[in-house]
A = this chain, B = another copy of it.
Amino acid sequence: MSSIDFATLARRDADDPLAAKRSLFKIPADTVYLDGNSLGLLTHQTAQRVQEVVQAQWGDDAIKSWNLHDWVDLPLSVGNKIAPLIGAEPGQVICCDSISVNLFKALSAALRLQDGRNTVISTADNFPTDLYMVQGLSELLGEQRCQLQLVDEADLLADPQRVIDETTAVVLLTEVNFRTGRRLPMQQLIAQAHAVGALVIVDLAHSAGAMPVALDAWRADFAVGCTYKYLNGGPGAPAFIYVAERHLTQLQQPIAGWFGHAQPFAFDPIYQPSPTVKQMLSGTPSVLAMSAVDAALDAFVDVDLQELRNKSLALSELFLELLEANGLAGSFTCISPSTTAERGSQLSFAHPEAYAICQALIDAKVIADFRAPNYLRVGFTPLYTSYTDIGTAVARLSTIMQQESYRAPRFQQRHAVT
């Protein structure tokens, strides 16, 4: 039997100032969902909004909806809704495209500001698409204009001044590592970059909606982020991009689509960029997808981000304690930092059978995920993850490990998981 005191967990849930938020979400039946760091859950309001946009807006008002229902303003209005969650004053954030496409824009724009420097520094374990974007731009421009230099995260943290120097054009960092959950000290790294004249692009994929972010205070230059993880915008939902106001006047990005034009509906054959963050728009944005993001963000109304962070860390600490109390801490090697300040909102554990265990957990309705080569990843989403959830998850994991049910043949086959 697992040693979990569910009565105590129920009391913690009762005392949780964010507890009421859980009812906004559709929680899959009997399920502990620890994968909000991959795909956040649906809110009831989002479902209703999508239905309304499809039937009443597109269905009834069709083309008139662009003005009648303010479709045309969605990218900026959603951006302005994201802004306070990432510590940005309004007018610097816009919702559009994917992180990949937005990184291409940000990196091109940043390099253009850094005439004479070509080195883009990133960590070898950054999320691959971030690195691919540098490689794609480097292939297009040539290494004399864009050269990727990969560094070990540990080296960067040990001695940022050795890694980021006067030859660095751009530093591209993801605040929270997707594999290990390690959180980088962005403010310090940005200060170091600026001290030597480098610009910084921050990827907030695993930060936005999970903890306070302070882009303006950090003096970040550009940032990108994801709305389908902690912001619950829906599968493949449009991303966002932040451009610090001080860069807007000299901004130029190459994927210069008509929505980024100063006057899109003038149908001018010559591109004149919008003087605002709208320049970051390219083609016509998906209204269905962006409306879902817009509705999902309402779950953050009145949320104190420090409170959110406190709960995130409390959930992860509880997970670690219960692993220990159930004799599981020995077999699952936590590869996430032990210091809470150095962590995002997830924990990752190395285990030789991580893939099979993850499958067995999913079968037992504990949705975690697997990341190569052998990591079990559990994410904590304070708006809907309860303390009881953590107890249930560890209890089910404990049963799986005791019964060795993950050794069943159906869990052993290895295939791609997203």
- State the CA gap A237–B71 with chains docked (Å): 13
Assess whether A265 is in contact with B42, with CB atoms less than 8 Å apart.
no
Contacts of A287 in B (CB 8 A): 234-236
A161 within 8 A of B: no
Binds B, one of A127-135, A194-202, A214-222, A405-413: A127-135
User: Does the CB pair A98–B282 fall under 8 Å?
Assistant: yes
Contact with B along A238-259 (1 / 0, CB 8 A): 1100000000000011111111
**Minimal beta-carbon separation of A11 from chain B (angstroms):** 28
Whether A133 lies near B284 (C-beta < 8 A) is: no
Q: Which residues of B contact A258 (CB under 8 A)?
A: 100, 127-129, 132
8 cross-chain CB contacts under 8 A: A50-B54, A51-B54, A63-B369, A63-B418, A98-B285, A100-B257, A140-B140, A288-B288
Known: A269-B128, A283-B129. A62 touches B28 (CB 8 A): yes
Chain A, 279-300, contact with B by CB distance < 8 Å: what is the 0/1 string? 0001111111110100000000
A47 contacts partner chain B, Cβ-Cβ < 8 Å: yes
**Chain B residue with Cβ nearest A131:** B269
Report Cα–Cα, A72/B254, bound state, in Å: 28
Chain B residues contacting A72 (CB-CB under 8 Å) are: 416, 418
Q: Which of A47, A99, A235 has the most chain B CB within a 10 Å cutoff?
A: A235
Inter-chain CA distance A261–B416, complex, in Å, is 13
Number of copies: 2
* Interchain nearest-CB distance for A232 vs B (Å): 10
Flag whether A141 is at the interface (Cβ < 8 A): yes
Q: Cβ of A283 and Cβ of B362 under 8 Å apart?
A: no
Q: Does A60 touch B at the CB level, under 8 Å? A: yes
Interface 9-mer from A32-40, A164-172, A330-338, A387-395: A32-40
Q: Which residues of B contact A38 (CB under 8 A)?
A: 63
Report the Cα distance A59→B44, complex, angstroms: 9
Is A64 an interface residue when CB atoms closer than 8 A count as contact?
yes
**B65, B283, B292: which contacts A100 (Cβ < 8 A)?**
B283
Our pick among B39, B61, B150, B286 for the contact of A62 (Cβ within 8 Å) is B39
Min CB–CB distance A207 → chain B (angstroms): 17
Please, how many angstroms separate the alpha-carbon atoms of A264 and B372 in the complex?
A: 12
Contact of A236 among B132, B235, B284 (CB under 8 A): B284
A268 at interface, CB cutoff 8 A:
yes
> What B residues does A270 contact at CB under 8 A?
131, 135
Task: Given A35-B62, A128-B268, verify A47-B42 contact (CB < 8 Å).
Answer: no
When distances are taken between beta carbons in the complex, the residues of chain B under 8 Å from A239 are: 283
